[in-house]
Structures are given as C-alpha cells and as structure tokens.
Amino acid sequence: MSLRDDAVAVLSAWTAPTASEAALRLEFLEFLRAHEDAMLRSCVPGHLTATTAVLSHDGSQVLLTLHPKAGMWLPMGGHCEVSDSSLAEAALREASEESGISGLRLLSGPLALDRHSVWCHPPQCWHLDVEYAAVAPPGASEVMSSESLDLRWFPVDEIPALSDEATRRLAQRGRDALIPDSRLLG
C-alpha cells in the first residue's frame, strides 16, 4: 500500500469529532483523489502533512517547539517523506526527529484535522494536516533540533498565548485519549 493509499484508508475510516472536521475530512479525501502527489511537499496548491502532540508519560504536559518561521509554539510535525509508508509513520518520525526523544508511543489513529496556510510555495500554499498524539516514556529528555528556536514542556491547560487553537485542541484531545477521565482533573 502506498502512502497516498494509506492516507485515503485512514481518512475514510476516521470519524470526525466535529462538523468542521467532517467537512475537512471530505476535502482532504477529494484532494487525495485529485492529486497523485498529494502527500509530497512539491504538490501545489497544498499537500498532506503529519503533526504530533508529544505528551508527558502522565499526559499532564505537552512538548512544543518555537517554530522559527511561524514564530509560534507548535506541536512537532511536518512533511511526509517518500520513505514513509503511512501517515502514522510520518507523524512518529517527525515527532522523534523534532523532539529528540526516542521511544515515543503513538496513540491510535488521528485525533484532529487542520488546514492552514503556509510558506512552502509562495505566495500561498496549504497544509492539510492530519494530527496525532504520542506519549513520551517516563524520564524522557528532549533534545532541540535545528528546526526549532526553543523546545519546552507546558501544562496541557496552560499552553502559551503565542500558540493557536489547533495546538490547544490537539494537546487536549491527546490527553483525553491517554487519560479518558482527564476532563475531571481540570
């Protein structure tokens, strides 16, 4: 199965938690049908990407990177590579590369979808982002990559203002998937 076929299978089986994400799911599937190269950075006007919220072992914190181009605190993520066999593999690879943490465990299935404008192909390009969460092993130490200005753990309920709603949503959904009763904690 190709990476594109995997993306179609994953998105076809995914149940969107909101009406807006249900619409995005259909948009992503249509985009995949229309573009043979939809998984590659070279695809214009956009391409599918994989993002991962890296959570502490207990789900209380999320590791965010201060993205040099966006100037915001964001989860780990980025472009799919030809060597990736699945969206989940791309999400885990990006999270491991950007966090420097080995032994991350991906939680099952995507947790969210997001579509946002980016700078890959000026003047405008879109990331059709499939979003996951992963859990770091206890005692994990992050190592900042060259793709980041800073790398820091934040309590899931205290993500800094210099972030976005998609980051907050993904971190909260990741915590909820890891600890189903987490809504009772805060």
Q: Where are the domains of the chain?
A: 3-184
Q: pLDDT by residue for the chain (186 residues), tens digit each?
A: 899 999 999 999 999 999 999 999 999 999 999 999 999 999 988 999 999 999 999 999 999 999 988 899 999 999 999 999 999 999 999 999 999 999 999 998 999 999 998 877 777 789 999 999 999 999 999 999 988 999 999 999 999 999 999 999 999 999 999 987 554 444
Q: Which of 180, 168, 175 is nearest to 64 (CA)?
A: 168
Give this prediction's pTM: 0.93
Alpha-helix runs per DSSP H in the chain: 3-13, 19-34, 87-99, 165-178
Q: What does the pLDDT read at residue 186?
A: 46
Give the pair of three-digit tokens for residue 175.
């915590």
What was the pLDDT predicted at 118?
84
3-184 is classed CATH 3.90.79.10: yes
Q: Nearest-5° angle of CA 105, CA 51, CA 20?
A: 120
